[in-house]
Structure 1
């Protein structure tokens, strides 16, 4: 017999579930709910998930579990909007006017006192760090090698970055540097989740293009674009940009021949606190690593080690789901992008390696009166709170006929097999603002093989070189409004949503082919739906 969660997954994914009044449907649904309600062990026999990740929701009563399953089940009625569909970030959804600040609003349901905390976090998010020593002291510690001086300079208006152009710096897209395990010992380290991969021996985990005075940067990302023509079902053509990456002006010798280059565009910051409070069991319910239901969609977890507790947990942030928490994500960015040490990442010289001796000889920004790191815990507390409470904007035009038609096509083409529409966050959250919220991220937060076209060849923990985490889609229709451009996917190669869809391969190939084969009116309707998110 299949596990109850396998059965539940099939029920949730089904494009045409049995009518609600059908006795067979009621019996099946009742069976699943009863089984879920009585399971209390943290893991099931034969489950491939690591011990400690519960496969059922312990924060809900059986009655509430039934309510959650009912409200998150994909709709089959596209004649009108669903209840609460406009409020895609739950009660915290921002209903402010749509403008360039649409991604920079606080969650609407935080308290007045918390709004002050949010503003302080915003100030630190925008703060420019300076090289040491300086008269500012509390802002000392930049670099010595770095990519930017402030978080906001990468997450432009709290939105996504953009790929470099010949006449601009590469501010908001970086090159991750890594190689796979090459010895039995290294393979054991990855298998034991002690490391995600191995850095370049000279240049570390990320190419640092900038440096403080008296030091040279590591090099410059170079992008060449080829052109691929795609012919659609109606005979029209779309031109896709196919990028290739290299590094110009390497400042400290050659890269290791085994080092892979993986470009990473900075993603939008909205809704992160809500994502953090999705119950792991609800993400596990969509995982199907062996494709037991035969739909061609797998969905795998990236299990990572929590930097604070040392325990294995679910990765849900980052392009490859390599990070478990917002605080760790912020600490990694401070260290890798700006070169600032924190309690979580206490290296005062950022990503400088032992081979970069001139970098390690530079002064750091530690002030004894402020603690042993350059960004002490109060700074991390504020930046984390800010990152957790950037509101998701309200949906627009949800009742428009073309948007509803596009939503129906999005479901029928199979896009929701990875872009899961809805979740309900856990009850017992650290901040009540994120508790028990119906949210619409359109992501399952799992790893999917997207085929050779999007592969970067870089292993990150359990993620292979062709796997990527499903990115949330909420807010995607406001990309141009907020950031003044429309660059999508992990490296910004797609200049339109149509191009982004046409790059889907691997597990996304069937849905991509259905989109490509559709007539122009249907394709336009589906894009209208995405633009309403």
Structure 2
């Protein structure tokens, strides 16, 4: 399989040599196989379709289900009643009409580029201080835990949001000044009265969906072995696990997905997106979300549930089996120097380079894979500057799950932008690093001390992922 990928890579012209005859020191070398970020679940593609390929070792039935799941992921839902009975039931309140509206080409959303632009994958979570019996954050009694800024014909939109930005600066050791945009979020045009006093607003941008099944296939002990909640080794890094409510099992389990690791598995993540983002009910979340005084039962719907069990499961399988794109320029000297800098300034303490999936996932293609996601799947305190002040199960307002870095260098190719972090405030990798604080403060300060050439090499490495 690797030979075939290498052949395709050569054909694409994105393979490079490890040696550079202009270097005046012993050349660095790549690790064997490190270009295969998803193990055998890797695709040799660096085009705008790079995030949309299936794992290559699916069974025939799984490959068919992948295609059907892809269809339901990409195509739009409509309000009921409709002749398109398999795809009606949108709303009554929603943020998007399809999964792909936020995850375009299975990629990453961004904040609106200007006032009045329709949302392109950014939404507002709402919560109140405290937690319910399951440990989940309390929600606004009228607006729930997410502001849906669209509604079907005949219904009043719950509200809209605007963003204002304040410029702050970071000065690097060589005198380079980087301007950062600090966002402030405002909820406007509320349709059902005021928000509850003390409401907490947490912006969340839609992430790329590559490699999710491989992260689901990691054994729990593999993740927990990376935790160091009390910083026993004294390196200033104290990642810890989130434990969240699994709706189907009725138990509290390890959180893996979402910006604060607040979802236990891909099925619940997908079903939650259907009901919260599009108003589509499923066997996981069978109830519409309506404000008090709005009789959801009196509004036409697409059945109960609105997406059939079989079709939901196919979207789940689709989300589980998206491949990871192969790395580009992985063995060039500037990229390898950047990799060394990445390790030297301790970015790898949270962005763990290499992990091994377990052997028990329901999808055989995801088992026993050596993967390079650059995440530890744990919560880390990222400092006050990135805090949303909104707890989420065990996650505090300052804590976020380490973002996987695989595919980061292709976001611009696939989605036409380079906006990063949980709300897309960073316009590029440099800005994202400079927003880091808390446990990452030391690494940030080391980054600021790098020379321009060292920063260039580090960015070349990160963008090769």
TM-score normalised to the size of structure 2?
A: 0.92
Of 358, 362, 367, the match for 2:299: 362
CA distance in 2, matches of 1:90, 1:314: 24
Of 511, 516, 519, the match for 2:443: 511
Q: What are the ranges of 5 or more consecutive residues in structure 2 without an aligned counterpart?
A: 1-25
Match in the other structure for 1:217: 157
The question of 1:244 aligning with 2:192 is answered: no
Based on CA coordinates, which of the two structures has the bigger radius of gyration? 1
Match in the other structure for 1:43: none
Which string of whole-angstrom CA distances, capped at 9 and with x for unpartnered residues, describes residues 342-368 of structure 1? 110011x2x313x242555322211xx
Of 159, 170, 174, the match for 2:107: 159
Deviation for aligned residue 1:207: 0.5
Deviation for aligned residue 1:112: 4.0
Match in the other structure for 2:256: 316
Of 95, 102, 115, the match for 2:50: 102
The question of 1:334 aligning with 2:262 is answered: no
CA distance in 1, matches of 2:139, 2:69: 31
The question of 1:437 aligning with 2:437 is answered: no
CA distance in 1, matches of 2:419, 2:293: 34
Match in the other structure for 1:352: 290
CA distance in 2, matches of 1:113, 1:203: 41
- 1:356–1:421 Cα change, 3 Å: farther
CA distance in 1, matches of 2:27, 2:181: 34
The question of 1:492 aligning with 2:424 is answered: yes
Q: How does 1:391-402 map to 2 (within 5 A)?
A: 391-402=323-334
CA distance in 2, matches of 1:341, 1:516: 48
Deviation for aligned residue 1:300: 1.0
Deviation for aligned residue 1:410: 0.1
Match in the other structure for 1:85: 34
Match in the other structure for 1:169: 118
User: Higher relative CO (CA 8 A, sep ≥ 6), structure 1 or 2?
Assistant: 2
Contact 1:195/1:461 (<8 A) preserved: yes
CA distance in 1, matches of 2:139, 2:244: 17
Of 118, 127, 130, the match for 2:78: 130
Contact 2:27/2:333 (<8 A) preserved: no
Three-state SS of the structure 2 residue aligned to 1:313 is strand
CA distance in 1, matches of 2:356, 2:267: 22
Match in the other structure for 2:18: none
The question of 1:390 aligning with 2:322 is answered: yes
The question of 1:179 aligning with 2:114 is answered: no
The question of 1:261 aligning with 2:201 is answered: yes
Contact 2:91/2:280 (<8 A) preserved: yes
Which string of whole-angstrom CA distances, capped at 9 and with x for unpartnered residues, describes residues 265-322 of structure 1? 0001000000000011111111111111111111011111221111221101000000
Three-state SS of the structure 2 residue aligned to 1:250 is coil
Contact 1:78/1:407 (<8 A) preserved: no
Farther off after superposition, 114-123 or 224-233: 114-123
Contact 1:291/1:298 (<8 A) preserved: yes
TM-score normalised to the size of structure 1?
A: 0.81
Contact 2:217/2:360 (<8 A) preserved: no
